[in-house]
Every structure is written in C-alpha cells, then in structure tokens.
Amino acid sequence: MRRITISLLFILVCLTWGTTWLAMKIAVETIPPLFATGMRFMAASPLLIIMAWVTRVPLLFSRGQRLFQCAVTVFYFAIPFSLMIYGEQTVSSGLALVIFANMPVAVLIASLLLLKEKTCRLQILGLVLAIASLTVVLLSEAKETNRCHWQDALTLLAPLIMHAIMYTLCKQRGSRVAMLTFNAPPCAAAGLALIVGGWFLEHPRWQDFSSKSIKATLYLGVVAGVFGILCYFALQKKGSAFQASTVFLLFPVIALLLENALYGYTLSPVSRLMLLPLSAGILLTLLYRNAMPRLNAGDRHVTL
C-alpha cells in the first residue's frame, strides 16, 4: 500500500509540475506577467492560510527569523516567479523546464559554495556533465530557433539560482519551519505586492482577459500551487529524498510532450540528444542526499 501511495504521489507531482509552465504560457496570452503572477499567488494564499489556521500552524517564522521571512517573500516568491513568467513569453515551456530540472545541480553548487559541504568525485562529475549538457542545449536552441536567446535563458537561470540559494540558506540557518509557514504568508505578501505593482506598471484591462488565461492563472494558484505543495510534501514524507528529487527528471518530459502535441514545438535534435547526459549528470548530483532540504523547508521551486 505504501508503494502504491508513493507511486501515486510521484505521478501527481510530475503531472502537476509538468503542466505548470504550459499554464504560465497560456496565462500571459492576455494577462500582463506581473499581474498574472500576483493573481496566481492571491488565488493560492487564502487556501494556504486557512490550512495553516485549521492545523494550528504559526504564520510567522520564529523570532530572529522574521527578516529572513521577508527575504523569502522577495527572493523566493516575488522576483523569481515574475522572472519565470516573463521568460515564458519568449522561451518554450519545454526548454524552461529543462532548465529548471537542474535545480538539484544548482542546490549542490550553492551548498558547496555557501556551506562548504563535502562532496565526492562522482558528484563533481555529475555537476560538470549537467552544466556542459545544459550549455549545449541552450546554444543549440539559440542556433536552431528564434525562441531562445541568451537574455531569455538568463531570465530563467536567475530564478533557478535564487531558489537554490534560498534552499541553501534555509539549511544553513537550521530553522525548522513548517511547510505552510514557509509558503502561506510570503505567498500572500508577494501576491499583494505584484498585484499593486502590476496595476501601476502594466495597466491591466479586465475586459482583455480571456477566460482561458484566467482559468490558467487559477490552475497555477490552486492546483499547481496548493495541491502541488501538498503532494510534494507528502511524497517527501512518505518516500526517500532521492525519490522526491527524481521528480525533476520526469516533469520536463511531460512538458515537452504537451508542448509538442498542442503547439507542434519540440527541442532541436542536438538538444534532444543532450537530454541523456543531462539526466545522468542530475542523477549523479542527487547522490548528494543532504543537498535538498527535507520536509520543513517548504520545498516548492518552479511550482506555485
């Protein structure tokens, strides 16, 4: 029964995360990026706050950690997710997820630099292999299509790096923060800030919003956000760290298949060939079991 539960959770997380980037692309078809991200967070935060209230989970970090909670709001939610949705306007959702599949690699690098964590030769090999493969993918996509330029790739690499640093700082501080505490208040604060910022900077017009974009935004907030958080948290709790982390290898495949089916877009032949060494590199870095914070760190990178 436990294996069935873990398998079901694994499939649900892969499906949820695999559809997130496609939903982001649909959302920004008629809704400005900042405003869409704010709507996304505002849809998720009430449910997260209600769940925290029902389960009697505190909304604030412990004393001495509340400045860090503000940093989580800005550097985990507001800025990274805004950059992600901006990147979705020019980069395919499949390529975006290939980039974000390197989260374990980014966390390993941050842990080595910030925490001086010990590693082994195999993990270093995986690190080099993953970075080299991703570089070839980006170069190939820039050469083969007009949909990927270095500035666009950097727009997606920046939030990847921010999330990796925030994960590592959580571990460095050694603070045991409940998943709902980590997500609910920062999500609400970031959502409000982005709604206000988007209103003044982007001048959204409600009448221009299509029902498809509104539904995609609600999907991002409620399904990919709240439901995704709960499923991944449960997967971390019931399965191993390795099982939870291997999600990063599979959800890009789902995104690539969906984008090919709906839009007829796929990666270049060279990029598809490089997915194998890229996956091998990520797997080797996952041998570093302590790289990804477990359970209490509020683990959620590319999915609210």
pLDDT tens digits for 222-233? 998 899 888 888
Q: Is the pLDDT of residue 291 over 60?
A: no
Residue listed under structure tokens 């980590």 = 182
Tell me the two tokens of residue 178: 């409940």
What local confidence, expressed as pLDDT, does residue 158 receive?
A: 92
CA distance 149 to 139: 9
Give the range of the structural domain holding residue 35, as residue numbers without chain letter.
2-285
Count the domains in the chain: 1
What local confidence, expressed as pLDDT, does residue 243 receive?
A: 66
In a domain, 304, yes or no: no
Contacts of 265 (CB under 8 A, 6+ apart): 92, 94, 147, 259
What local confidence, expressed as pLDDT, does residue 132 receive?
A: 93
Residue listed under structure tokens 């050694």 = 174
Q: Is the pLDDT of residue 264 over 60?
A: yes
pLDDT above 90 covers a percentage of the chain that reads 39
Q: Is the pLDDT of residue 38 over 60?
A: yes
In a domain, 296, yes or no: no
What local confidence, expressed as pLDDT, does residue 303 receive?
A: 34
Contacts of 199 (CB under 8 A, 6+ apart): 35
CA distance 175 to 159: 23
What local confidence, expressed as pLDDT, does residue 301 receive?
A: 36
CA distance 79 to 56: 29
Q: Is the pLDDT of residue 144 over 70?
A: no
In a domain, 238, yes or no: yes
Q: Is the pLDDT of residue 211 over 90?
A: yes
pLDDT in tens, 53-68: 999 999 999 888 889 9
Q: What b/e string do you get for 204-233 counting C-beta neighbours within 10 Å, with b at 16 or more?
A: beeeebeeebbebbbbbbbbbbbbbbbbbb
Q: Which of 221, 6, 218, 17 is nearest to 103 (CA)?
A: 17
What local confidence, expressed as pLDDT, does residue 288 receive?
A: 53
Are the C-beta atoms of 54 and 177 separated by less than 8 Å?
Answer: no
Are the C-beta atoms of 130 and 282 separated by less than 8 Å?
Answer: yes
In a domain, 298, yes or no: no
In a domain, 104, yes or no: yes
Q: Is the pLDDT of residue 290 over 50?
A: no
In a domain, 300, yes or no: no
In a domain, 46, yes or no: yes
Which of the pair, 173 or 123, is modelled with greater confidence?
Answer: 123
In a domain, 36, yes or no: yes
